[in-house]
Copies of this chain bind each other. A is one copy, B any other.
C-alpha cells in the first residue's frame, strides 16, 4: 500500500543581517511541491565527490540544496531519520565542502544528526536516493563507509574533543589541513563539549568549530548558555558578553546560516587559520518543510510515514510503558508537589511530550544534554526533601557511571532512575541498550529493579518514590505492555527476594524483566521437548541474589538457566554462575555477546545468541545429557 508523500520544499526569504532579527519574523515561502514520483534531481545526480561541489555555481548550489532536501525527506519518511537537523544544515554542508578539501581537511560531525547532506556529497547519495540501498548507509558518521568520516559517533557533545585530538595528532606528525568540528547548540550543554572547548581554545594551532545554532536541542535547549547564544543572535554576534570569546576563541558570526554565499565567505575567512576559531552560524532547523519548522521537536527525528498525507496523528493510542510512566507521574503530581521529573534533553523519547511538560511545570526540569549533572542534581533534590524521577535512555545512562556511583549511590540518595530502552535490539551500534545491567548493577548501594508487567512496574514506582533508604533504578520494560490486571502488592523494601512464579523441578529458569515472557516459552518448550516441568523465577532485583532461594533450588534442580536482555559479561547471569560455581548445579547464561552490533535484525541476533526456546532447550538437553522428544 503505497502512500503519497506530500512535502514542501521551501527557500527562505533572504534575511536582514543587522539588528535583532530572529526566525519568528522570517517568512517561509513554498516554492515547489514535490511528491514521491515527480521530483527530478537538478544537480545532485552530478555530484559524487566534494570536488564536484567546488565546480558548481551559486545557483547550482542552491538547486543542490533542494535536491538534498528532497532526498532527506523521502528517505526519512521511508525508513525513519533525523529530519529537522539535517534539513537545517544543508547549505552549511555545501559551503563547507565548497571551501574546504575533505578529507585532507577533516570535518567531524558532533552526534552526526546533521550528516545526511555530507553523506550525499561524499559518494553515498545512492543510500539516500535509491530505496533499495537506504539500509546500506547508516544514519550516523561511519568511517567504514567513507574516507570522509573519521569517527563512529552517535552520542552528543564529543565532536570538539575528537576534533581537538585530530588537530593535535596532525601537529605531532607534521601533518597539514584544517580540522573542523560541527557542533549543534543543543550539544553544547554537555560537559564533554565544554571540556573540549576549554582545551581546543588553548591548542595553539588550527581548529575551526562551527556552532550550528538552530535554537534547539532535540527539544528546546535549557540552561544559562542559551541566553548567551540568544544574546549573540540578537546582536548579530556583537554582544560584549560572549562565552566563546571568554574561553579564548576567535569568533565569527553568520546570521543567515542557510545562505550559502554568506557561509562561503565566512568559511573562506577562517580557512587555514593558525589558531582556534568559532564560526557561530544561525540556521533554521527543519528548513524546507513547514511542519518541521513549526514543530521542531516532533520533526527532529521522524518515524516512517510521518509525512504521509493519510498519517493520522489522532489514531487511537495504545498503552505503552511510556504512557504508563507519564500517567503515573501526572497522578503522582496531584498528590505530591515534591516530585521532580528530570530529563536530560530526551523528553519525547520517554513520553514527556510538551503538553505533559506544561502540566508538570515546576515539577519538571530538562537539564539539557547533561546526564552527569542530571544524576547529581537528582541526588541533591532527594537530599533536600524532593522526590526526583529521572527518565533516561539505557544508551545514555552510561554517560553517568561516576555520578551514579559517587553522587548518588555513595550518598544513598533516594532518587528514582528510570532506564528506558534497555535490551537487545536491532539498534545502531551507537545506541545499543545492552550495557546498563553491567553498568548499574555492579555499583554498591543501588537497587536495580526489572519489572516484567505493568503492575510490577507501578508497584516498584510506588515503592521507590515513597522510601528514603535507597537509590533505585528501574529498567522500564520495552515492547508491548504485559498486564495481569492484578495489583502487585509486593513489599519491595525486602530487598533481593526473587519471585517463584511457577514451581517445578530439575530445571529452573530465571528470566529477567523483558525476558520473562521468553522464560515462559522456554518453560513450555522444556515440558514439550524434555517432559520437564521447570521452575520459573522472576528475579525482579538485578543488584543482589536471593541466596536462600538459590540454595533451596539445589535440592531438586540440576540446571539453572538465566535469561537477560543485555550483554552477559558483567551482567546478572554471571552472578548466578558464580553463586553455584562451587556446587554441582549447572548454569547456562543467556544474553548478548560482548560486541557492538550495528542494525542487525533481532531474529539474527536471537539465533546467534541462542535466544529462542528451541535453541535453549537444545542446550539444556545437551548439558544434562537428555534426549529431545521429536515433534509430532
Contact = CB atoms under 8 A, between A and B. Distances in A.
B173 A338 contact: yes
Interface stretch (A29-37, A60-68, A293-301, A581-589): A581-589
Nearest to A171: B362
Contact of A410 (B382, B430, B589): B430
Given A224-B197, A384-B166, A247 B243 contact: yes
8 contacts: A161-B407, A166-B381, A168-B377, A169-B340, A189-B195, A225-B246, A401-B439, A444-B594
A411 B442 contact: no
Given A150-B383, A385-B169, A386-B172, A199 B377 contact: yes
Interface string A378-410: 111111111010000000101101110111011
A194 interface: yes
A546 to B, nearest CB: 16
A488 to B, nearest CB: 27
Interface in A552-577: 567-571, 573-575, 577
A152 interface: yes
A278 to B, nearest CB: 11
Given A198-B224, A224-B198, A377-B168, A588 B582 contact: yes
Contacts of A200: 224
A163 interface: yes
A376 B192 contact: yes
A153 interface: yes
A362 B240 CA distance: 34
Interface in A84-123: 106, 108
A169 B382 contact: yes
B574 A568 contact: no
Contacts of A151: 379-380, 383, 407, 411
Given A202-B223, A406-B153, A438 B570 contact: yes
A590 B405 CA distance: 22
B407 A158 contact: yes
B249 A224 contact: yes
Given A192-B376, A372-B192, A173 B384 contact: yes
Nearest to A385: B173
Interface string A580-607: 1111101111000011100000000000
Copies, count: 2
A198 B166 CA distance: 28
A481 interface: no
Contacts of A587: 578, 581-582
Given A165-B388, A196-B377, 20 more contacts: A143-B411, A151-B380, A151-B407, A152-B406, A153-B406, A158-B376, A164-B380, A168-B340, A169-B340, A169-B382, A189-B195, A195-B367, A202-B227, A223-B247, A435-B442, A442-B567, A570-B571, A581-B587, A583-B586, A584-B584
A196 to B, nearest CB: 5
A154 interface: yes
Contacts of A574: 570, 574-575, 577-578
A332 interface: no
Contact of A169 (B166, B386, B571, B595): B386
A191 interface: yes
A587 B245 CA distance: 60
Nearest to A372: B192
Given A377-B199, A574-B574, A399 B401 contact: yes
A248 interface: yes
Contact of A368 (B199, B241, B430): B199
B166 A406 contact: no
Given A249-B224, A386-B169, A164 B240 contact: no
